[in-house]
Structure 1
Amino acid sequence: MRVLLMSHGSRGDVQPLAGLAVRLRAVGAEVRVCVPPDEEFAELLADFGVPVVPIGQPMRALVTKARPSAEDSARIVARLIAGHFETVAAAAEGCDVLVATSYMPAGVRSVAELLGIRYVYACFHPFELPSPHYPPSSWPSPLYPPDVTDVRELWELDAQRMNTVFGPILNTHRQAAGLPPVDDVRGHVLTDRPWLAADPVLGPWGDLPDVDVVQTGAWLLPDERPLPAELESFLDAGEPPVYVGFGSMPMNTSEDAAKVVVEAIRAHGRRAVVSRGWADLGLIDDAADCFAVREANHQALFRRVAAVVHHGGAGTTTTAARAGAPQVVVPQYWDQPHWARRVAELGIGAAHDGRTPNFQSLSAALETALTPETHARAKTVATTIRADGTAVAAKLLLDPVADERQPASAGGNR
């Protein structure tokens, strides 16, 4: 069995593919991964011997620069879809199945059609699948009339927007390839049976009879790396610190953000571990109560902290929850506000109100996260977070008949 895994996203989109790739290779499948050409992505996959096919431009450069104009966005979409029909098509030659993830891989299903291979769409959070329980995301700017509040109507507007943004260029390529036009881009990409690679406790899909979703559980990449010796020494030197990091989010006010979070953490009598990330956060002084890291094993680190302050990416939320660490989620966009609300609903942390924290707002959120009640609840919920998502997904990929038999929410042990 040969499998191509494809994503055009940030670290939170690439790392789950690495987890699935490792699992597939362990059970004898040949795997290659098609992702943006960021050096850190190539290094991550190279560590596990997974062949990488680069597509598009580096994601870090795309995410951290100013928001593109309408004309720039149109050019980005055109290049992405062209890359599907060119780069992805070449990478998928000889494969038996093509798994597409991340934001609207519009042309990938067409590639599978042309090659006559199986196509699977998988997402890492339920909030991009149409549901009456929540509205579609409105990033990067308000996309829908403010007087429209009905969730189903908003999802209909979302489908129309997808057709407007992706339909013309997609159908131009399909026509050139001899394929019929697509009149519902979102439905075409998602398919009638999308996969949801999110933990059922953190990101439940529910039982919606009109949408057949296979929930595999989150695709976790086991991390056996030891923590750096200097970080170990810092952790051993006092009470558990508060971790703060915003992953692949640029945090345009990163200098102020570092000052705000460190001072808020200190106000609670806590030490801090500051992750630089794509925001390039740093230390604000030379005091011994703070430690900066560029890269570290979150699975090990989060088990040793008092709380995790983060942006609300699916991967960080899941890793912190599985470690039993209380969370403060400062959501920036896309699925992150949904994860922030879910953390608060579960009682395992606090949802910060808004993208830009100040001393007062972050102090208040930390007040909630650092209570004994939140700590105890986080430890309880940690015992329910599953770790078998890649095993479930690998079985479904290698046994297509099992996919047809699988109920909408795939089962499994922690």
Structure 2
Amino acid sequence: MEKIVVVGAGQAGAACVAKLRSEGFAGQVTLIGEEHVPPYQRPPLSKAYLLGEMALERLFLRPESYYAENGIDLMLDTRVDAIDRADRKVIAAGHPLDYDALVLATGSVPRRLPAAIGGELPGVHVVRTLRDVDEMAPEVVDGRRALIVGGGYIGLEAAAVCRKKGMEVTLIEMAERILQRVAAPETSDWFRDLHTRHDVTIREGVGLERLVGEDHVTGAILGDGTQVPVDLVIVGIGITPATTLAEVAGVEIDNGIATDVQGRTSDPAIWAAGDCASLPFRGDRIRLESVQNAIDQAEVVAKNILGAGEAYDPKPWFWSDQYDVKLQIAGLNRGYDRVVVRDGDGARSHWYYAGERLLAVDAMNDARGYMIGKRLIEAGKSPDPAIIADAAADLKPLLKG
């Protein structure tokens, strides 16, 4: 093993190359990214960075000098056009690069509104890259009117930032409730109340018919015929895995770039990690869209390229910051059949059960509940729901049971 190429200079790509070096790999490492800046954190983009509370350099995962100092060839502002699997080359900016192992950490792309309904009008934005947020920032100002399309976590975070900036905010969600795809009704209700108290107008069960405007978006016509004047539109309707490069090369795709438990694709010389990769998990195939997964999966891939033979066993956790609320999520709530609510002094958590088995926890300003729930889930322990529901009960002894 002499040459390793990593395509995608996001959280997963950066974690992979750093792990290769820390594990002692002395060969050639190349990290290729399409953006003009070194790998950076994405979560603060739509929050602290957009609010002007975080400088650009603080976004960077590592100083740019790190890559040269560690013998990592960082190719920025560079697009990979194709993979030649037969000769083990990638074609980057028209030039071939040899590889012995190739890691695809291509991430995901945001879904956009169709051009036919005004999705390409100036003033319509998505939240994914530094460029997206830099283009949006001058329009996020006090007194203007924002329409948020999509009531998932991205949309809700955008709504919170716009309100903090003094904007008038309307959020629409086509499904019957916000967070419907990812959370229980109890969590949806809690966040709906939070945003309503911050004067966000939330319209559920209402889609977007079209946007209007000529040189810039000026309004929206909703599915129920309502007309809303707007100065800015932020679209948060989900993401799709960036699989085109792999698909054209003939690598197997199944809800993302399909990998085995070690992160290897259908081509034994090609690996994948992060948002673009799907992996086996408890008899299913899933993708995990989180910073935690991007780092952990990429580090396992790096070790396995070097022969570790380690199975990746994800322990999912996520977070979201909205106003003065920190939401922390442990586990995956897929298959739950009941939710146990635990109320505390300024804190609240929702515990997801399937029968008697604890699956996941949503914790709102409840760091203690989150940490205990996370440890219980990872240990395969499922406490009596009656104890969880008792706000006076001490949860810590459950870890010893």
Give the TM-score of the pair, scaled to structure 2: 0.30
Greater percentage in strand: 2
Give the TM-score of the pair, scaled to structure 1: 0.29
Which structure has the bigger radius of gyration? 2
Greater percentage in helix: 1
